């Protein structure tokens, strides 16, 4: 999981052995405005509990502010060493003034939203558990191949993509050198991002792979290498030369970037940088402002979290425009453009739920599913929110065919102290007065991190595929953790029963 990082930045802290003195609240606020906003939206004291600020965030921030020099800093590559200054970026008095301001105002515990009342198991989906002979399911990619009616499942332990039929019977395996993170399925080929290594890293060892098929036999070709932990690719002609360009999110860790690769007829590669910062997790191409030009929208999940649009000005020029911004503790995890209210205009649905920065993270009342509507002037305003601990994805469709939008959302960091674990939730008539919440059959069989939605069986309704990552950060009861790891369930296929 990612680390809450922030260029050269932020927050204040208590480190071992230092005393905190009482200081004026106004001075602490002013200093926090100065030091806590240079690389991301300013976090507020109430966003985290006191213990997390003191024991987790503050010591790390001292490193980034140069207050506690990093041992053996000189041995780091230059681009990484730059994140750990050799000299303090603020005085000790300023540091503790800001620290006191945060500690005084942070709650002992974060508020706990009331649980969602559910009506039982929904009859909308029939679940099929997809199993493989693995010790610890680590599904880093879940995709529905509607062209051929197949399930595409990325294995982060075996560094492979497994292709099965809808019953989970193996058809083919695409072997890679690292964990797969995304696939763009196109008529001529598949385009796959290979992260290089599973855990967060800054090594430029990722790849973009082209997979072509002869029946059920795959052939792989490396298109791009030396990528920094790529998490998403879109193969699309961005410059109008009738050749595929590749829009790649190089999430990285401390070091990453976002941009697109142009490959000419002779195979020469030209890179077009859009953002030099890490954290790009997924991007889409769409006309944001109605000028008939393809713009780019990317979700950033590090530092200045949120959604950024790159407005196409023609001739290869793009201008960045922030659409939505979150504080760095929100844990942005997914987004999608979809018409939520049926008025013919797309809203943006965003989930926040990444909670993997610390060993025992607090549950956050601001985790869940957000709906943002355009104000018509380039900004998006929050119109709906539904809490879901550790939310990692949400799909809004008319799943039951009644003309209303429904929502299927899922969690990777659920609470375990409320009886039923809120892992997958189905809300029929989402956002309407008649909304009903349901559990999904088989949702307790795994810990769901990745997903896809589409009509994979060709019957005209929307099916869902969920990928199980059975191990990871967070505190999980032993009995549940052992069941998830020992189940051999790598994915859960939800067949829609509407038709």
Measure the CA–CA gap between 340 and 452, rounded to whole angstroms.
18
Same domain for 369 and 343: yes
119, part of any domain: no
479 and 349 share one domain: yes
pLDDT for the residue 344: 92
For residue 272, which of 326, 307, 309, 310 has the smallest C-alpha distance? 310
Task: Tell whether 231 and 380 lie within a shared domain.
Answer: no
- The pLDDT value recorded for residue 72 is 76
Count of other CB atoms within 10 angstroms of residue 81: 15
Q: Phi/psi at 225 (nearest 5 deg)?
A: -130, -175
- CA 429 centroid distance within chain: 26
Query: Are residue 321 and residue 335 in the same domain, yes or no?
Result: no
Q: 98 and 228: one domain? A: no
Find the mean pLDDT for residues 255-269. 96
Q: Is 237 in the same domain as 285?
A: yes
What is the length of the chain?
499
Average predicted confidence (pLDDT) for the chain: 91
Does residue 89 lie in a domain region?
yes
Residue 130, SS3? Answer: strand
Q: Residue 130 is part of which domain span? A: 126-162+329-499
The predicted-structure confidence for 58-114, as pLDDT tens digits, reads as follows 888 888 888 887 777 777 776 777 777 878 989 999 999 999 999 999 999 999 999
Number of H helices, E strands in the chain: 6, 28
Q: For residue 78, what pLDDT is reported?
A: 66
Per-residue model confidence (pLDDT) at position 25: 62
Q: What is the DSSP string of 328-350?
A: TTS-EEEEEEE-SSSSSS-EEEE
19, part of any domain: no
218-233 tens-digit pLDDT? 999 999 999 999 999 9
**Rg of the Cα atoms in the chain:** 23
Q: Judge if 100 and 133 occupy the same domain.
A: no
Residues 275 and 359 grouped into a single domain: no
Percent of the chain at pLDDT > 70 equals 94
Residues 52 and 147 in one domain: no
What total of structural domains would you count in the chain?
3
Same domain, 333 and 466: yes
Q: Which of 270, 299, 325 is the last residue of a domain?
A: 325
446 pLDDT above the threshold of 60: yes
In a shared domain, residues 61 and 191 = no
Residue 251's φ and ψ, nearest 5 degrees, are -60, -45
* Domain co-membership, 150 together with 296: no
285 in any annotated domain: yes
Among candidate residues 292, 325, 358, the one where a domain is terminated? 325
Judge whether 17 lies within some domain: no
């Amino acid at each position: 999981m990612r680390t809450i990082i922030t260029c050269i930045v932020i927050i204040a802290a208590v480190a071992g052995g230092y005393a905190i003195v009482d200081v004026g609240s106004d001075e602490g606020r002013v200093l926090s405005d100065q030091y806590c906003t240079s690389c991301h939206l300013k976090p507020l004291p109430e966003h985290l509990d006191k213990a997390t600020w003191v024991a987790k965030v503050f010591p790390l921030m001292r490193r980034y502010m140069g207050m506690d020099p990093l041992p053996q800093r000189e041995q780091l590559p230059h681009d990484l060493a730059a994140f750990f200054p050799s000299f303090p970026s603020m005085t000790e008095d300023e540091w503790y003034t800001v620290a006191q301001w945060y500690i005084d105002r942070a709650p002992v515990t974060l508020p706990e939203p009331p649980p969602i009342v559910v009506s039982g198991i929904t009859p909308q989906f029939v679940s099929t558990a997809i199993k493989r002979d693995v010790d610890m399911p680590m599904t880093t990619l879940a995709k529905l191949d509607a062209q051929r009616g197949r399930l595409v499942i990325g294995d982060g332990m075996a560094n492979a993509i497994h292709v099965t039929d809808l019953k989970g019977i193996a058809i083919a395996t695409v072997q890679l050198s690292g964990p797969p993170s995304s696939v763009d399925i196109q008529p001529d080929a598949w385009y796959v991002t290979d992260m290089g290594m599973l855990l967060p890293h800054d090594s430029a060892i990722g790849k973009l792979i082209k997979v072509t098929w002869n029946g059920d036999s795959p052939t792989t070709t490396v298109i791009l290498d030396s990528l920094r932990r790529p998490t998403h690719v879109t193969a699309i002609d961005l410059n109008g030369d009738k050749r595929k360009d590749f829009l790649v999110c190089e999430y990285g860790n401390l070091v990453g970037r976002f941009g697109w690769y142009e490959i000419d007829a002779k195979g020469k590669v030209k890179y077009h940088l859009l953002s030099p910062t890490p954290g790009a997790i997924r991007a889409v191409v769409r006309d944001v402002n109605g000028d008939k030009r393809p713009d780019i929208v990317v979700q950033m999940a590090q530092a200045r979290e949120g959604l950024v649009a790159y407005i196409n000005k023609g001739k290869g020029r793009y201008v960045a425009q922030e659409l939505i911004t979150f504080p760095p503790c929100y844990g942005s995890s997914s987004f999608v453009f979809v018409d939520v209210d049926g008025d013919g205009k797309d809203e943006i649905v965003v989930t926040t739920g990444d909670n993997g920065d610390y060993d025992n993270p607090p549950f956050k009342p601001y985790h869940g599913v957000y709906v943002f509507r355009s104000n018509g002037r380039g900004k998006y305003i929050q119109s709906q929110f539904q809490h879901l601990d550790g939310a990692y994805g949400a799909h809004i469709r008319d799943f039951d065919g009644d003309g209303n939008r429904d929502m299927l959302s899922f969690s990777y960091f659920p609470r375990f102290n409320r009886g039923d674990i809120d892992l997958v939730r189905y809300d029929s008539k989402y956002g309407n007065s008649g909304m009903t919440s349901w559990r999904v059959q088989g949702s307790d069989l795994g810990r769901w991190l990745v997903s896809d939605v589409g009509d994979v069986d060709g019957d005209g309704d929307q099916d869902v595929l969920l990928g199980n990552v059975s191990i990871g950060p967070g505190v999980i009861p032993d009995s549940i953790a052992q069941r998830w790891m020992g189940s051999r369930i790598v994915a859960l296929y939800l067949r829609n029963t509407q038709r």
